[in-house]
A = this chain, B = another copy of it.
């Protein structure tokens, strides 16, 4: 296995075989780069200097852009060629960049000197509901404990159109939303949410889309997906509870959604693919294919103002997901709906089978009935103002380990 000449400590999330893409500001300029160890390789500069030796990209400006969208539109063969080029450029036996100290100091920037931005311009955001454990938990809490899954759930990767404008990059503070709450038999009031929650998800980023009226078949679906980020789906459970019938979640969700800044490519994730759960009943033919998940550990952590460090409150794994990304893409487009480069498809809350693997506070505290006890001596059911949440994700196999970095945000008080 090759190594980079850039130092990457064992267990670091960004070794040579990860190379996640991101958009950053450095010295007043917005650029695109890949992460390698604690550095970011500035692809905007590499391209500008004519060093990007990819035939399909000669004379093009795919990295001198404000977002990854132009690069995404180049398609899978191009993404692969750039990845091969970058692995070669950065590996320890390639002298071109390694021995050119002037160029190195220009194009390899310490990550602590850059400010990460939204990696993509998100035109469309769809949020699925594809964890059978999560859907079962929510069904038990809100509908029927003895029959929690709705009849369509095992037939359809249920999802809804979300609000793309409210997606923000990790670190952006999220203000506690106001909205209508209906408490017991009282008349509804307008007040800050009392049930500020978050859900751990992955967000898959569409690389190439489809024309309106032309579905993406399940066999082609992976070719259209560029990569994935972590996603924190902030939720005001009391607003959601009162508003969501019959048209689904709206203001309970669209006040903010946090994503991690580094997009881990599907190609980098391939070695970590695992078979998904057995689906019963067998899905309809347009959803049939060997069910491929990825073995990605996700850790949910909290830090209150009284705490010095984050404390883990749950860990789950993407491998439990009932509906996979190929099925989500095939379903989303079977009616002809057009996906576009940069669209994000959220997996839905990733919950595992045991109570310590639930991916949201509503599940972890069973809607507030079982508070979480923190090392600080505090308790939490839902989030207080100034609490911070963080998610960290990793995948490991044999000697290879790559990570997503982290995604975090702090709750601001309502005005």
Residues on A lying within 8 angstroms of B by beta carbon are 123-124, 129, 150-152, 155-156, 158-166, 168, 175, 177-180, 182, 187-190, 209, 212-213, 215, 236, 239, 242-252, 254-256, 281, 284-286, 331-332, 334-340, 343, 412
Complex CA distance for A150 and B162, rounded to whole angstroms:
23
| Beta-carbon contact of B177 and A335 below 8 Å | yes
Residues of B within 8 A of A212 (CB): 165-166, 168, 175, 255-256
Could you list 8 A-B pairs, sorted by A, with CB under 8 Å? A152-B182, A152-B243, A158-B247, A160-B160, A161-B161, A165-B339, A179-B335, A248-B249
Distance between A394 CB and nearest chain B CB, rounded to angstroms: 30
Residues of B within 8 A of A336 (CB): 175, 177-178, 255-256
Given known A-B contacts A160-B247, A248-B249, A236 and B335 have beta carbons under 8 A apart: yes
Distance between A329 CB and nearest chain B CB, rounded to angstroms: 13
Distance between A218 CB and nearest chain B CB, rounded to angstroms: 12
| Beta-carbon contact of B168 and A254 below 8 Å | no
Residues of B within 8 A of A247 (CB): 129, 158-160, 244, 248-249
A152 in complex: contacting residue of B209, B245, B343, CB < 8 Å: B245
A175 in complex: contacting residue of B123, B179, B213, CB < 8 Å: B213
**Which secondary structure dominates where chain A touches chain B?**
loop
Residues of B within 8 A of A166 (CB): 212, 337-338
Chain B residue nearest to A175 (CB atoms) is: B213
Complex CA distance for A243 and B332, rounded to whole angstroms:
12
Complex CA distance for A151 and B251, rounded to whole angstroms:
17
Complex CA distance for A244 and B245, rounded to whole angstroms:
10
Distance between A125 CB and nearest chain B CB, rounded to angstroms: 8
Beyond A151-B182, A158-B247, A165-B337, 5 additional contacts (C-beta under 8 Å) are A239-B335, A248-B249, A251-B331, A251-B337, A255-B335
| Beta-carbon contact of B340 and A180 below 8 Å | no
Residues of B within 8 A of A250 (CB): 158-161
| Beta-carbon contact of A123 and B160 below 8 Å | no
Chain B residue nearest to A142 (CB atoms) is: B246
Complex CA distance for A150 and B129, rounded to whole angstroms:
24
Distance between A365 CB and nearest chain B CB, rounded to angstroms: 21
| Beta-carbon contact of B245 and A334 below 8 Å | no
Residues of B within 8 A of A335 (CB): 177-179, 236, 239, 251-252, 254-255
A158 in complex: contacting residue of B129, B243, B334, CB < 8 Å: B243
A248 in complex: contacting residue of B150, B246, B343, CB < 8 Å: B246
Complex CA distance for A84 and B158, rounded to whole angstroms:
50
Given known A-B contacts A129-B247, A155-B188, A340 and B161 have beta carbons under 8 A apart: no
Chain B residue nearest to A180 (CB atoms) is: B156
Given known A-B contacts A251-B332, A337-B254, A180 and B236 have beta carbons under 8 A apart: no
Residues of B within 8 A of A254 (CB): 161, 335, 337
Residues of B within 8 A of A256 (CB): 212-213, 336
| Beta-carbon contact of A284 and B180 below 8 Å | yes
Distance between A203 CB and nearest chain B CB, rounded to angstroms: 16
| Beta-carbon contact of B243 and A244 below 8 Å | no
The 6 closest A-B pairs by CB, nearest first: A248-B248, A177-B335, A160-B247, A175-B213, A247-B248, A251-B335
Residues of B within 8 A of A213 (CB): 175, 255-256, 412
Chain B residue nearest to A412 (CB atoms) is: B213
Complex CA distance for A20 and B247, rounded to whole angstroms:
32
Residues of B within 8 A of A337 (CB): 163, 165-166, 251, 254-255
| Beta-carbon contact of A124 and B163 below 8 Å | yes
Complex CA distance for A404 and B150, rounded to whole angstroms:
43
Chain B residue nearest to A340 (CB atoms) is: B165
Complex CA distance for A338 and B166, rounded to whole angstroms:
6
Residues of B within 8 A of A124 (CB): 163-165
